[in-house]
Chain A
Amino acid sequence: MAHDTTHQHESNTKRIWSVFVILSILTIVEVVLGILKPGFLVHTDFLSMSILNWIFIILTIFKAYYIAWAFMHLEGETKGLRRAIVWTAVFLIAYLIFILLTEGDYIFEVYRTNHVAWDF
């Protein structure tokens, strides 16, 4: 986190390529897991979602972190700017997802247990 774009102009190519390698590996792992779909990961649930889906989401967040920090150079920005961007987005998105998924699940239950048939 030492580089400040406005003052230092040394080359970062090494860092760029290593991030590319990391992103590639993460993507390959995702694709392989997506194709194989190992049974024990699919059928084990954690917080009402399969472990496999948790792995996908966590790997995605890792990828997002590397893209934002290395490619978009958030690691070189001041703390204030970085936090204004990341905290705002993370808070609002987490809130939105929580609200909408809870509601979606509720409607699913209503459809399933309702006395009125919706598949006629």
Chain B
Amino acid sequence: MEATVVRTGTEGKTWGGGNDPLKASYGKMMMWFFIVSDALTFSGFLAAYGFSRFKFIESWPIADEVFNHFPFLHGVDAPMYYVALMTFILIFSSVTMVLAVDAGHQLKKGKVVFYMFLTIIGGVIFLGSQAWEWKNFIQGTYGAVKTEGGNILQFVDAEGHRVALADVAEVMSTERVENTRASGVWFQQGEALPNYTIEEIKAGFANREDVVIRTQKLTEEGEKTVLSREESLAKLDAEAVSVVEGANLTENEYGVPLFADFFFFITGFHGFHVLSGVLINIIIFFNVVIGTYERRGSYEMVEKVGLYWHFVDLVWVFVFTFFYLV
């Protein structure tokens, strides 16, 4: 192959590419370029979230009331704990990753294998946690009623505690059946039936003297406005058109539809990054195990995937702040 190789005699010199002013290898620099562009993508999403939130600043859902589940603690109001745990898992997997990189600098293969393994486990646990979080979010807890204008009305008792639809509704026999593909003459499908009809809610609400309605609107104290019993009855009667349980891309029981849209989109996009990070980590892990980098005499590949993994952690720090704290 000698014939195809052009030698200029400048190899290693400035004109031959021998000068690297930033003292970083090509691969590492490209990983940084990728990270910067990816960071701009994420900040585009988060800034769009901020835009929508400022647009609906008076009626945005309160994160503490939405994300208040913890495994094995049913019905206990546990705001923030679960997502704090997830944050710790991700930060810790970042620590094990940087320890693996550090061990790689000292060419200690065994230690690199061990720390990379821990990193992968941490990533997998994080992904599982996120799936559980999504499940709770999609399923919803209490359910709500939607008005003609697209607003969400929730039920609370005298102490301000949320009341589930199941406790309000008065179950009536109904003629309505869900239209499925199989039952139609034409190939079509109807909307899924909610557990309760709006008539059942209205009938049940009239009998529950202790329950009132909470609107999306935030008060000066940053809490949701609670209507009086008379106002509640009037509002439910005049405006409520449908029942909402859980969350999807068009409506959700927590409030503004965009809230769920951004939740799905941003945490989903981040989760996809974690997933690809785990997969890349697994590939590099096996490369370390079979000794590829030991023979090469450099563990720089571990360093490069490490950069990506830390970036995923970095993004989560911001998602955590803007979705759950602020």
A complexed with B: yes
A42 engages B222 (CB within 8 Å)? yes
Query: Are B55 and A93 closer than 8 Å at their CB atoms?
Result: no
What CA separation (Å) do A71 and B190 show in the bound complex? 52
Q: Is B22 an interface residue, CB under 8 A from the partner?
A: yes
Evaluate contact between A119 and B151: CB separation under 8 angstroms. yes
* Known A20-B92, A108-B55: A13·B102 in contact at CB below 8 Å: yes
Assess whether A16 is in contact with B44, with CB atoms less than 8 Å apart: no
CB-based contact A67/B310 at 8 Å: yes
Query: Which B residues are closer than 8 A to A by beta carbons?
Result: 21-24, 29, 32, 35-36, 39-40, 43-44, 47-48, 50-58, 64, 79-81, 84, 87-88, 91-92, 94-95, 97-99, 101-102, 105-106, 148-149, 151, 221-222, 303, 306-307, 310-311, 313-314, 317-318, 320-321, 324-326
A64/B23 in contact, CB under 8 A:
no
Q: Dominant SS at the A interface? A: helix
DSSP class of B's interface residues: helix, strand, loop or mixed? Answer: helix
Q: Given contacts A57-B326, A104-B54, are A20 and B40 in contact (CB under 8 A)? A: no
Given contacts A78-B24, A92-B40, contact A9 B84 (CB under 8 A): no
User: For chains A and B in complex, what number of residue pairs have CB atoms within 8 angstroms?
Assistant: 146
A31 adjacent to B102 (CB under 8 Å)? no
For A16-34 the 0/1 string (1 means CB < 8 A from B) is: 1100100110011011001
Return 10 A-B CB contacts under 8 Å, by A number. Answer: A24-B88, A31-B84, A71-B98, A72-B307, A73-B101, A85-B35, A89-B36, A92-B40, A93-B40, A118-B149
Selected contact of B314 from candidates A27, A67, A73, CB within 8 Å: A67
